[in-house]
Amino acid sequence: MQSAVGNKPGQETSVTEESFFTWVHSSLTDGRLLVSAVHPTLGWGYFLLVRKEGAKPVYEPIQCELAKKGLLDRISVSPSEKLICFDFQPWSKHGSMIGRTLYVAEFDVQKCAITNPKPFANEEGKPFWFDYPRWIDGESAAVYHSTETGKGQLYVYRLDDGSTQRISTNPKADYRYPHGEAAPC
């Protein structure tokens, strides 16, 4: 659904078709949406959705080898739209919210391709919640949530040196749903 700022409930308009599942992960500056969907003719996959006024949306398939092995979720597109970060769950563990691995990958919006995925948190698939990776500091770092230490804490992964640092200040608090500055959803 989409709506104008200031609209009231009920003034939304549908962006996708109601006949099949579509989940919006993030948006691009050109207006396309990065979605996962069970398209009736294209099947399950990841797509760049092009909205058309008065017409059915167009689903451009995204090529991604890792997606053949499992679910990419909570995908966040970097400000330059050349990288993405996301959580990954192998098909063998489908349905579990814990034990996911966080990745950074290259994203080519022209070729509709996700390539060169690199794990940066929970590569071992430990049975804890690792999730909500979002870009910060431009695209030099990703913030994420982890329950590995008991409560949900926030961590920052820095791409330049591969370091990880806890940034939440209260070890008794449970931090959730981090968002980065000036970045797409």
Whole-number mean pLDDT of the chain? 87
Please state, in angstroms and rounded to a whole number, the distance separating the CA atoms of residues 125 and 76: 20
Of the chain, the percentage scoring pLDDT greater than 90 comes to 53
CA–CA separation, 185 vs 35, rounded Å? 12
The predicted-structure confidence for 61-120, as pLDDT tens digits, reads as follows 999 999 999 999 999 999 999 999 999 998 877 777 778 899 999 999 999 999 999 999
In tens, the pLDDT along 6-33 reads: 889 888 877 777 788 888 898 899 989 9
pTM of the model: 0.87
Dump pLDDT digits (tens) for 135-153.
998 899 999 988 887 778 8
Q: Hunting for tokens 């399950």 — which residue is that?
A: 44
Domains recognised in the chain with CATH numbers: 63-166 (2.120.10.30)
Contact 26, 47 (CB under 8 A): no
